Structures are given as structure tokens and as C-alpha cells.
A = this chain, B = another copy of it.
């Protein structure tokens, strides 16, 4: 993409009403614009990150055997009356009446709808297990939306639903999602730790939040330091095999959010292994048995026992929230520092003198070669000053930069800068291209 053709409205000033780094930087980097309290437009740069995050989430769901579908944003109120949650949900639910005065709502989650789809079509234990997911916009009418996409009202979420014949089988589905989540976050460069959590309005008695540690985290979390050192299971996990060991290794160590914190158990951890920190929730998994299948009569024939309600779980990842979480985890005074797997562009090309024949030719050459290698470069071909180009490129946080100008070209070199370390090396144009390709071929996981 040539910057002159792109739409990248970066801001020089930090917006006054943005309190945390991710909110400030998403506005400054031209990633989004607020349209109403807690409701954002994703400008082209932000949209690209959102799509990268969404795609990693999708690939790991697919790998774990979940099947993608898509439920609508608008739901009928009757469904929520069946489960008993229509009144429970309170003011956070955006309630709507259509032209015929029928009661609708903007879905904050989809347990009811998918339970109703399941009961409509699945009647036999032979059709189990089922793992279905969608990635769709949700709405929660927060009283005080804040922190940008971290606590917005309209937000993009991946939610998976599992249907099993028994609790034992349901735990297998739970474990699949637990393991898939570890890999999902690791692929984005995030260290997300499973911690015991309250089940809240979803219900059930088994739940883990996946938490990334961050100074601006919304809640306090407590855990054993060794948990932070366990690597992700890796993409070669056999999701049809026994995953209990992977789950046990991580749940054996103390880890809890403040809501379910057990001070006594925490006190028993050796002092040098105690971690108490702020955390951001990026995902949550629930096993809630027959909480929905019972009242909504989602039953299947049992091989011996007549008809039984299915055991269910649900599994959410906050796709739009992760974009903010990533920035909280990866930024410095100059701006954002994207992990390569989620960067909006793979590399920036900065022309130090557009209009100079040698510079234009070298930039075009590098641009075409990177594209031919399957990378996605952003080529700053504008006439802005060198200083403005440097700070804008640092602000938007592409992992690598290639700086090309007449002075270097006379000596046959361009500069390659690593955004994270700030390290610069001088290389020939061909070596620069090869170096960028090499860096991007090193997968996180």
C-alpha cells in the first residue's frame, strides 16, 4: 500500500479524554474514531489489526475442531424469557422495539440462540459432541464506557458453544477450548494466563479467565510465578487426544482473579513466587452444565436413559478488546510496537526524497520485491518531512522499517530499523529485503 493512497489520519496531540495508553494510541495512530460513547469506527489501520486478530482466533478455533457459523446481532426477547435472563440482564441489555412493537434486543451473548438452534436440529446423542462458534458484533450498554475498545459498548467477540452428552464429555470440550486459547494468545505474542474466575451472568461453576498482565489492567489478579513460565502447548497438539495433562499443569498452580481470590491459599505460596498484579481479561471459558438446556428443553436421546438435557459450555474471546490489550502490552514513548503476527502492515518503507530518481527507483524495487514475497509493505511515498515520517512510522508501530534516501544509495545501502529494539543496520537493498523476509518467517509459535 502506498501511503499517498491510504487513509491514515494520525494525530499529533494526545486526545484529552483518553486515559490509558491503548486508547490514546489508537486515536493518535489513526486506528479508530469514536462515533458515540463506547462505539467506534475502525479506520483502515485499526481495521487491519482487528482482522489479523480475528483470523488468528478463527484458525485456532478451526484447528480445535470448532465449526464456524454466524448468528445475527438482533435477537427476539422471547428467547431470553425462556432462559430467564431477559429480566436479569438489567440496563446493560440494549432493548429495542421494532415497527410492529415486537421486543428485540442487540445480543450481548448467544447462549439462548444457539441452544435454540441446537434443540431445533439435534435430537440424538449420536450427533454429539458439537462445538460451534461465531465471530460477531455484540452490544453491552455499559453505564460508563471508557478506555476505548477495552470497555466499549459495541464490541467484536468470538463465542463458541459446546454440546455434550455428559459432564465428563463436556470437560473434554472445555479442555479443547482451554488449550486452543493458550495457542491463540501465544500466536499474537501475548502471554495470557488462565485464572479461576467468577461465572457472573453466564452461570455455571467452572470458569477460567485468560488474563494478560498490564499496568493499566482493570482488575487485580493473584498467581504463582511459575505459571508465567509455562510455554504454550504449540500448534501440533492433538485435539482428539487427552488434553487433561496440559490443563492440569496450568490449573495446579494458584491463579485467581480478585473476585474469587483465596487469601489463605495465596499466603501458602513462597514469597518469591507470589505474583499480585493488574490484569486484562482477553478471554473466558465456562462450563455450566444444563443451565440453559434444562429450561430451554435442549434434550437428546440417551443410549440408555430416554431423553436428557445436554451439557453445555461457552467460550469467549474479546476480539476488539485484544487490539487494545496488545497495545497496552506493546508500546513505548514513541508509540505502538506491534508483534509481527498482528501488525497492520509487515514493514514500512520510508522514502527520504520522493521525486529523486534513484530514491524512487530503489523504493519501488524494494516495495515490489517485498510484495512478491507475500509481505504487505506500507510505502511512505509522501512529501512529508523526514522527521514527520520517522515519528509517524514509530507511532503506528510497524515491526520493521526500511529507510531509503539518496545519501545511503550513493554508498549502495539503505537502513533497516527494528521498531522494538530501535536497532538500525545498513544493508544493500537486496539484503534489506532478504533480512525483512527472514524476520517475518520466524513464527511466534
Q: A residues within 8 Å of B by Cβ?
A: 5-7, 9, 30, 33, 35-36, 39-44, 46-47, 50, 65, 67-76, 91-92, 94, 96, 98-99, 102, 104, 106, 113, 117, 120-122, 130, 132, 134, 137, 139, 141, 143, 153-154
Nearest chain B residue, comparing its CB with the CB of A78 = B36
State how many copies of this chain the complex holds: 2
- Asked if A73 and B154 sit within 8 Å, CB to CB, the answer is yes
Known: A35-B71, A98-B141. A41 touches B9 (CB 8 A): no
17 pairs from A and B in contact (CB 8 Å cutoff): A7-B121, A7-B130, A7-B132, A9-B120, A9-B122, A35-B72, A36-B102, A41-B72, A44-B67, A44-B68, A44-B69, A44-B132, A50-B70, A74-B106, A74-B154, A94-B96, A98-B153
- Asked if B41 and A71 sit within 8 Å, CB to CB, the answer is yes
A41 to B40 CA separation, bound complex (whole angstroms): 25
Cβ 8 A contact of A99, one of B9, B47, B69, B143: B143
* Residues on the B chain within 8 Å of A75, using CB: 35-36
* Residues on the B chain within 8 Å of A76, using CB: 35-36, 39
- Asked if A70 and B99 sit within 8 Å, CB to CB, the answer is no
* Residues on the B chain within 8 Å of A65, using CB: 5
Chain A interface, >50% SS class: mixed
- Asked if A113 and B71 sit within 8 Å, CB to CB, the answer is no
Given A7-B132, A43-B69, A44-B68; 19 other pairs, CB 8 A cutoff: A5-B65, A7-B130, A33-B117, A35-B72, A36-B76, A36-B104, A39-B72, A39-B76, A41-B72, A41-B117, A44-B69, A44-B132, A47-B134, A50-B70, A73-B137, A74-B139, A74-B153, A74-B154, A94-B96
- 6 cross-chain pairs, A with B, having the tightest CB-CB distances, nearest first: A9-B121, A42-B70, A91-B99, A36-B76, A41-B71, A44-B69
A125 to B74 CA separation, bound complex (whole angstroms): 40
Nearest chain B residue, comparing its CB with the CB of A36 = B76
- Asked if A69 and B47 sit within 8 Å, CB to CB, the answer is yes
* Residues on the B chain within 8 Å of A99, using CB: 91-92, 141, 143
A98 to B37 CA separation, bound complex (whole angstroms): 11
A39 to B50 CA separation, bound complex (whole angstroms): 26
* Residues on the B chain within 8 Å of A143, using CB: 99
A64 to B106 CA separation, bound complex (whole angstroms): 34
CB proximity of A17 to chain B, nearest CB, Å: 15
Cβ 8 A contact of A96, one of B47, B96, B102, B132: B96
* Residues on the B chain within 8 Å of A154, using CB: 72-74
* Residues on the B chain within 8 Å of A91, using CB: 99
* Residues on the B chain within 8 Å of A106, using CB: 74, 96
